């Protein structure tokens, strides 16, 4: 069980169970819009959403702890595909729901017009740091989407993210909204925490949700942010960061990398805290 600064606002929302949420808004193929907002703005946003939204509740809890491990090839093909905005991009990760120890191996494909397709395989939590038991599933999912990373290359753990997530169902549009707080990243010996900010993500078939419209009216616009690629770019000075540079400069203090010549030996960062500047 976790606690949040917006629990009183969450308590005013009607609940929805996991089975109904999946039935009404599984959205394995979808369009995502992401926003970075101050965490202290969430209670007001949730109060506005109360007539439109229901909150996922499991065993009385409405906020849950997540951990994701991202995998990439030795040449970081997945990262560079995102950094250079390749038309077809992929991510491979394990996602562990820490409160229940449930784990999945996931392959996410970014396609035309911002669509996202997700392939999932139930996984053992003890294997969350390796793709070896599910490598056949990963290769099949990538082949099905006509994506061919480095032939015969390994997929090694590169980045670990931890966060707390609240999930909303918007029945009118059969869409979902996730609210992620207490975000942190780890890469080798470097660590980063995003303090005082939340990532709000709308997941829909295409049309804007009430959340999108509420945020737009307040002057909040979608941003380019990826838990994997943006987090890794923030921790690695030697990697390109062009798609997320504005997000890094605005929301991550002293974490922007540059596209100047790559140093011979990248210097790891010690633990740092990012905040809105």
Which letter, b or e, does each residue of 37-50 get, where b requires 16 or more Cβ atoms within 10 Å of its Cβ?
Answer: bebebbbebbebbe
Q: Is the pLDDT of residue 271 over 70?
A: no
Q: Residues of the chain with pLDDT > 90: what percent?
A: 66
Query: What pLDDT shows up at residue 208?
Result: 85
pLDDT at 31: 79
Question: Is residue 2 included in any domain, yes or no?
Answer: no
* Mean model confidence pLDDT for the chain: 86
Give the SS3 label for residue 194: strand
Mean pLDDT of 239-264: 66
Name the pLDDT band for 255 (thresholds 50, 70, 90).
very low
Which range of residues forms the domain containing residue 138?
Answer: 7-259+266-274
Question: Who has greater pLDDT, 86 or 160?
Answer: 160
Question: What are residue 230's DSSP bridge partners?
Answer: none
| Poorest-pLDDT segment among 49-58, 200-209, 217-226 | 200-209
Residue 201 domain flag: yes
Residue 94, pLDDT > 90, answer yes
Tokens of 121: 């395989």
For 21-58, what is each residue's pLDDT tens digit?
888 876 556 678 999 999 999 999 999 998 889 999 99
Overall domain count for the chain = 1
Residue 1 domain-assigned (yes or no): no
Give the pLDDT band of residue 244 (cuts 50, 70, 90): very high
pLDDT at 29: 62
Lowest mean pLDDT among 19-28, 45-54, 59-68, 80-89: 19-28
CATH code at position 42: 2.40.320.10
Place of tokens 């609240």: 166
- The answer as to whether 247 is a domain residue is yes
How far apart CA 134 and CA 67 sit, in angstroms, is 18
Say how many C-beta atoms besides its own lie within 10 A of residue 73's C-beta: 18
User: Tens digits of per-residue pLDDT, 173-194?
Assistant: 888 999 999 999 999 999 999 8
Give the integer Cα–Cα distance in Å for 271 and 273: 7
pLDDT tens digit string along 118-159? 899 999 999 999 999 999 999 999 998 888 887 778 999 999
What stretch of H or E contains 246?
Answer: helix 245-251
In contact, 149 and 77? CB cutoff 8 Å: yes
């Amino acid at each position: 069980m976790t606690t949040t600064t917006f629990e009183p606002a969450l308590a005013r929302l009607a609940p929805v169970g996991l089975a109904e949420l999946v039935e009404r808004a599984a959205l394995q193929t979808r369009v995502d819009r992401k926003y970075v907002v101050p965490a202290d703005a969430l209670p007001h946003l949730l109060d506005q959403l109360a007539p439109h939204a229901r909150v996922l509740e499991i065993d009385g809890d409405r906020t849950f702890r997540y951990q994701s491990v991202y995998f990439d090839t030795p040449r970081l093909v997945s990262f560079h595909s995102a950094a250079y905005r390749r038309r077809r991009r992929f991510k491979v990760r394990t996602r562990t729901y820490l409160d229940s120890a449930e784990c999945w191996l996931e392959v996410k494909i970014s396609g035309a017009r911002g669509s996202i397709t997700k392939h999932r395989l139930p996984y053992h939590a003890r294997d969350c740091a390796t793709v070896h038991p599910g490598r056949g599933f990963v290769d099949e999912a990538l082949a099905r989407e006509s994506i061919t990373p480095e032939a015969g290359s390994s997929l090694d753990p590169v980045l670990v993210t931890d966060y707390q997530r609240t999930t909303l169902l918007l029945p009118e549009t059969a869409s979902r909204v996730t609210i992620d707080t207490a975000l942190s990243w780890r890469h080798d010996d470097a660590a980063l925490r995003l303090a005082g900010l939340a990532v709000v993500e709308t997941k829909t078939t295409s049309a804007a949700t009430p959340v999108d419209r509420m945020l737009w009216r307040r002057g909040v616009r979608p941003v380019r942010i990826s838990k994997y690629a943006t987090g890794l770019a923030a921790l690695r000075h030697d990697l390109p960061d062009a798609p997320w540079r504005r997000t890094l400069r605005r929301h991550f203090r002293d974490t922007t990398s540059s596209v100047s010549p790559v140093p011979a030996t990248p210097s790891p960062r010690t633990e740092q805290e990012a905040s809105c500047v």
